[in-house]
Amino acid sequence: MKKILIAFLFLAQSLLAQTSNEIRLIIRSDDIGFCHTANAACMKVYTYGISRSVEILATAPWFMEAVKMLKTQPNYDVGVHLCLTSEWENLKWRPLTSAPSLTDADGYFPQFVWENKKLKDSPYLLQKTINVAEVEREFRAQIELVKKHLPWASHLSAHMGCTNATAEVKTMVERLSKEYNLPIQMPKDVQYVRGFGGADKSPEQKEKDLVEILKNLPAGTHFLVEHPGYDSGDMKGVGHVGYENVAYDREGVTRAFTSAEVKKIIAERGIKLVSIKEAMQGK
């Protein structure tokens, strides 16, 4: 019996050592639903790339196309990307509910949550007093629309930080998270990875930068958020003052997330790609 116990303890220690030395990486792709080009790119970085989780905007104009695409890949982990803003100048969206305290003069979501010091004339959410009851109704509508069409959605996330707009909103979202059993907080041991972006960086440079990040990842669970796209199609018309080359910027993200060199480094280092759902479940 003593020998069996010793053998069991040795095995347990070995497994713990293996787990502690493991490198795990969560790649989250944001904003599927906001335009056709973003939808195509968000799907490509899963089917041919390294993304395992994607955040969908229920309020955005290409939501239904995103739903159709995601239904072809039911193993793609989906998050409800709660939204109270519509940031682009040429492409806008509105709340799903009647929410006058959450809209600008034209009935759209405002451009930002907080004042943008560089864009003095841009409407922002906290420019006026928001009605938290309206926020709750709107968030419920967004959650329920996503769950209706994509019942495997596993978590919540925030578009442009909207769930932290005020302390009262944050508390309410935590309550909704528990009610719908959709976590919004990542596990405490997850380490956030610095981005490899930069609106003026070429796609080639972004690919090189991601390779360097992956070469130097230590053991543990790491979390990287980016926005896939293409330098073509309707994304060419998307932008706002201070961020005009959106399509060029996001083309680089797609290139990096589908790069053969990136996938080679992941294989060589034994990096395990996991979804947010898997991380939440401790897998």
Per-residue pLDDT of the chain (283 residues; tens, 9 = 90+): 444 443 443 334 334 434 579 999 999 999 999 999 999 999 999 999 999 999 999 999 999 999 999 999 999 999 999 999 999 999 999 999 999 999 999 999 999 999 998 888 899 999 999 999 999 999 999 999 999 999 999 999 999 999 999 999 999 999 999 999 999 999 999 999 988 878 889 999 999 999 999 999 999 999 999 999 999 999 999 999 999 999 999 999 999 999 999 999 999 999 999 999 999 998 7
Amino acid making up residue 34: F
Sequence-distant (6+) residues with CB within 8 A of 280 are 154, 155, 183, 186, 187
| 7 belongs to a structural domain | no
| 2 belongs to a structural domain | no
Q: What is the pLDDT of residue 12?
A: 41
| 1 belongs to a structural domain | no
Look up residue 107 and give its two tokens.
């009935």
Look up residue 181 and give its two tokens.
């059993």
| 16 belongs to a structural domain | no
Q: What's the number of domains the chain is made of?
A: 1
| 9 belongs to a structural domain | no
Q: Specify the CATH number for the domain of residue 201.
A: 3.20.20.370
Q: What is the pLDDT of residue 9?
A: 38
Sequence-distant (6+) residues with CB within 8 A of 84 are 95, 102, 109, 110, 113, 125, 135, 138, 159, 160, 162, 165
How many whole angstroms separate alpha carbon 209 and alpha carbon 196?
Answer: 6
* pTM for the whole structure: 0.92
| Contact present, 70 and 280 (Cβ < 8 Å) | no
| 239 belongs to a structural domain | yes
CA 236, 193, 25, 113 torsion-angle sign: negative
Residue span of the structural domain in which 273 resides: 23-282
Say how many C-beta atoms besides its own lie within 10 A of residue 260's C-beta. Answer: 7
CA 283, 24, 181, 61 torsion-angle sign: negative
Look up residue 174 and give its two tokens.
């935590």
DSSP 161: G
DSSP 234: G
| Residue in 79, 114, 82 with CA at minimum distance from that of residue 97 | 82
The burial class, CB within 10 Å (0-12 / 13-18 / 19+), for 173 is buried
DSSP element (H, E) containing 4? helix 2-21
| Contact present, 136 and 176 (Cβ < 8 Å) | yes
| 17 belongs to a structural domain | no
Sequence-distant (6+) residues with CB within 8 A of 268 are none
Q: List C-alpha distances in Å: 257 to 25, 79, 82.
A: 12, 19, 24
Q: List C-alpha distances in Å: 104 to 86, 90, 97, 241.
A: 10, 15, 14, 18
> Terminus-to-terminus CA distance in the chain, angstroms?
31
Q: What is the pLDDT of residue 19?
A: 54
